[in-house]
Structure 1
Amino acid sequence: MNAGWVTAGALTTTIAVSIPVFLVGGLAVQVGEELDFSPAGLGLAVSAYFGVSALASVPAGTLVERYGATRIARTGIVLAAVSLIAVAAFARSLWTLVAILALGAAANAMGQLASNTSLSRHVPARRQGLTFGIKQAAIPISTLLAGAAVPVVALTVGWRWAFVLAGLAAAAAIPLVPRDSGHRRRAAETGQATTALVVIGLAATLAAGSANALGTFVVASAVDRGIAPGPAGLALTLGGAICAIARITGGWQADRRPDRQVGTIAALLAAGAVGLALLATPGPVAMVAGIVLGFGFGWAWPGLMNFAVVRLHPQAPAAATSITQTGVYAGGCVGPLGLGAVAGYAGYPAMWTAGAVAMLSAAGLMLLGSRLLRRHASA
């Protein structure tokens, strides 16, 4: 199967299944005004989404290994499209929004792990770093689209129409899912670097908790500083574009230094922590610099993590990445809930400072995980 087609299919699948939560974050001001919830309420909605994603991750990995990436990816896209249109039609309070987002969360786990499997089995090893970077660029692209939806749709015809259009666009990704070639059920892989994967998963929890705050709260934080919703949405769009470029560039360099990527992730997280700290500093210059560093470095690592894990577990990529992906989703759950509460009680500067500390701690855990992975590879 053509590697370019597989990469395009993985990219569109990941965008389709991840857009619901980022659209809620990008339209937080408009949705929050109509449904009457605070930053803590937004954090609750996003946390519920990623909490369900964390619970669904390992079962979704099992489903992908058993039934094939194509079937599970298409199922995930359908669920995501249904959840987007359901938000537009039925969300009348914070609690109905949370319930509908939970449906899209299962779709997220399915689509992500199915895409990882397609790339690992159909793309040559010498190009997997780049293709994983392109696939993970789907997340900031979703953020970019969410930011662009503020001035283009939400401020013109209303935020509900943004969800309708996103649902239709997600459904259009179904024909682009690449077909499995002779899929058959695979036995569970033995000899996983379980300890290393768990440590990396814990690091991913801290890092994703802080990084998700960027996509979730950067618009509301900018508005709180007196910036109009339109430019605030464009700031989110800028961050999404920078992150997409960083993920693709990171994947390109991973193919040239494939055995040292977890250490590279630690360096990216340290730089991202500086960006979050800048977001706590008053002034538009500090905000823009914080967005550039936070998105460009602090949220550039998931593709590198998946690439490193798949290299060690090529026979069961969905099962292996489901462990570390659980950490990413757990961070997406705990981070917005905790940081949203901090913003509600102590303000956004305190929230960004707490996120910077968590991201720096994640860098240290990534270094430990890198050491454990090298030990496992040597064994």
Structure 2
Amino acid sequence: MVGSVAGEKISIKVVALAISATTSASLPVFLTGALSVQIRASLSLGRAATGFLVAVFFGSATVSSLTTGGLSEKRKAESVMKYAAFFSAVGMLGIALFARSFLTFALFLVISGLANGVMQPAVNTFVAGAIPATRQGLAFGVKQAAIPTATMLAGLAVPAVALTIGWRYGYVFAAAIAVVVAAVLPKGKSIRSSTSPTNSTAVPISIPPLIMLAFAMALGAGAANAMGAYLVENAVHSGIAPGSAGLLAALGSASGLSARLVSGYLADKRSGGHIRVAAMMVGIGAIGYLLFATQDAILLIPATLIGYGAGWGWNGLYNFAVVKNHPGAAGRATGITQSGAYVGSVIGPIGFGLIVQHVSFQFGWTLAATSAILSSVFMLFGRKMLIRDKNRVLPG
């Protein structure tokens, strides 16, 4: 056990399962971004192809997130997570063995994307049920730390794998990780905390505030995932060697990981205001995007630290706020808001890629900063709607 407040503790087993499951489902898309230079050269693709491939993944995830968000409330969340990890492995192994064109690559990303859309609400439900309510801020920070963990592994895969034995082996190793995760996830009795609410499909939720929060998440995630997809490409374009660009992505991931853990830890010490803090973070992230827009190689490190730390470090806190406002309906509520993240992650990389190919990186980063600022504003609107809503339980 780790961490305690008023005698309540966080299970290391729960934390390990949550972060491992989320990482296994996130690796396919972040490998695609980090290895994009090598993938494009191998398959003779243009720069915009990276954005389209990332969009295929998140588009598929949107469908499964919206349609299966309540599945983990009806069945054991761990069982849902196990199947999602398995199909994530299938998609990655398919890429490694059979992707010889844009279409075949996209086909296997569809499989991985569907698995990711099932995985995210399932892990949220799992954490909400297994962690004491007074420690869920840190728990969701740890859970969302899996995303920068995946991007860190993807970034390290550039010098360690792609530039040595080939980019396809990156997907082989990632598939092996997902298989191990699927194997260790329990089949038996669900892990639950006595202080966490029991999920039930009978618990009502109000849709309009969630739609507003999903829209805000779309804007913020669109900018952040464009950064995740094109950070390495942008660094290489700025004159950085591919290996060093991969390490830059790993550095950014470490920044994002730290931000999610710290913001989650601090959330447990507050009684509310979590969405306001998330809005502030995504707004600060816009500064990082504007630093990228200068195309100055010297500013790449601070831009990466701010972009990943603030611009992509708010997700865990945001999910925690949604779950806190919807006890007993974590899967359905975060299934809706997470779909916004997926929609943004479809539009963001595609739009950014087309802008880069036909205009410039500078203009793309400027639009990303604008999207982040608008995300911050709409988060605050969504928070006001939650407060006004009669079904609200606790202020976010």
Please name the residue that 2:238 is paired with. Answer: 225
SS of residue matched to 2:70: helix
Please name the residue that 1:330 is paired with. Answer: 343
Instruction: Report whether the alignment pairs 1:243 with 2:251.
Output: no
Matching residue within 259, 273, 278 for 1:260: 273
Shift of 1:210: 0.3
Please name the residue that 2:367 is paired with. Answer: 354
Q: Which amino acid aligns with 1:117?
A: T
Change in Cα spacing, 1:340 to 1:186, as seen in structure 2 (3 Å) is: same
Give the Cα separation in 2 of the matches to 1:189 and 1:337: 38
Shift of 1:306: 1.1
Change in Cα spacing, 1:169 to 1:137, as seen in structure 2 (3 Å) is: same
The total of aligned residue pairs comes to 379
Please name the residue that 2:174 is paired with. Answer: 166
Q: Is the 8 A contact 2:205 2:329 kept in 1?
A: no
Shift of 1:188: 2.2
Give the Cα separation in 1 of the matches to 2:18 and 2:294: 38
Give the Cα separation in 1 of the matches to 2:205 and 2:314: 21
Please name the residue that 1:214 is paired with. Answer: 227
Pairing 1:17-28 to 2, within 5 Å after superposition: 17-28=25-36
Q: Is the 8 A contact 1:208 1:331 kept in 2?
A: yes
With 331-340 and 61-70 compared, the bigger mean Cα shift is at 61-70
Please name the residue that 1:108 is paired with. Answer: 116
CA-to-partner distance for each residue in 1:119-156, whole Å, 9 max, x for gaps? Answer: 10110011100010000000011000000000001100
Pairing 1:1-379 to 2, within 5 Å after superposition: 3-178=11-186, 181=189, 187-376=200-389, 377=392
Q: Which amino acid aligns with 2:247?
A: L
With 160-169 and 139-148 compared, the bigger mean Cα shift is at 160-169
Change in Cα spacing, 1:302 to 1:258, as seen in structure 2 (3 Å) is: farther
Q: Is the 8 A contact 1:5 1:178 kept in 2?
A: no
Q: Is the 8 A contact 1:14 1:139 kept in 2?
A: yes
Shift of 1:193: 3.3
Runs of 4+ in 1 over 4 A off after TM superposition: none
Change in Cα spacing, 1:246 to 1:179, as seen in structure 2 (3 Å) is: farther
With 260-269 and 64-73 compared, the bigger mean Cα shift is at 64-73
Shift of 1:177: 2.4
Q: Is the 8 A contact 2:19 2:142 kept in 1?
A: yes
SS of residue matched to 1:173: helix
CA-to-partner distance for each residue in 1:200-236, whole Å, 9 max, x for gaps? Answer: 1000001000000111000001111121100010110
Give the Cα separation in 2 of the matches to 1:133 and 1:349: 32
Give the Cα separation in 1 of the matches to 2:300 and 2:260: 21
Give the Cα separation in 1 of the matches to 2:279 and 2:26: 25
Q: Is the 8 A contact 2:129 2:199 kept in 1?
A: no
Give the Cα separation in 1 of the matches to 2:393 and 2:190: 33
Give the Cα separation in 2 of the matches to 1:287 and 1:167: 31
Q: Which amino acid aligns with 1:163?
A: Y
Shift of 1:182: 5.8
Q: Is the 8 A contact 1:9 1:178 kept in 2?
A: no
Identity %: 38
Please name the residue that 2:194 is paired with. Answer: none
Considering only aligned residues, what root-mean-square deviation do their CA atoms show, in Å?
A: 1.8
**Structure 1 regions of 5+ residues with no counterpart?**
none
CA-to-partner distance for each residue in 1:41-68, whole Å, 9 max, x for gaps? Answer: 1100000110110111022213212222
* TM-score (ref. length: structure 1): 0.96
Shift of 1:378: 7.0
With 199-208 and 63-72 compared, the bigger mean Cα shift is at 63-72
Give the Cα separation in 1 of the matches to 2:202 and 2:161: 47
CA-to-partner distance for each residue in 1:139-186, whole Å, 9 max, x for gaps? Answer: 011000000000001100011111111111111112442556369x96
Shift of 1:39: 1.9
Give the Cα separation in 1 of the matches to 2:376 and 2:303: 18
**Structure 2 regions of 5+ residues with no counterpart?**
2-9, 192-197
Change in Cα spacing, 1:189 to 1:202, as seen in structure 2 (3 Å) is: farther
Change in Cα spacing, 1:182 to 1:148, as seen in structure 2 (3 Å) is: closer
